[in-house]
Amino acid sequence: MKLEKKGILNMYLILKKIKFSSKLYLIIFIFIYLLLNFHQKNLVFAQEKIDLIEKKLIILK
């Protein structure tokens, strides 16, 4: 989780160096953050589904 936060902070600093208007790089930053957060939640959800399927298969054996 700390690595993800460092990555997000680095993206924010890079966008700040590009000298866009503050609103534009804030919107881009929020969009990237939400995209990464959504992707992370989907990975956790997919892993939980895989675990449930594996448990059902073990019970059926």
pLDDT tens for each residue of 11-38: 777 767 766 667 777 787 788 888 877 7
pLDDT for 31-59, tens place per residue? 888 887 777 777 777 788 888 888 888 87
Domain ranges of the chain: 2-60
**pTM for the complete prediction?**
0.43
Query: Residue 46 to residues 18, 50, 52: CA-CA distances in angstroms?
Result: 36, 6, 10
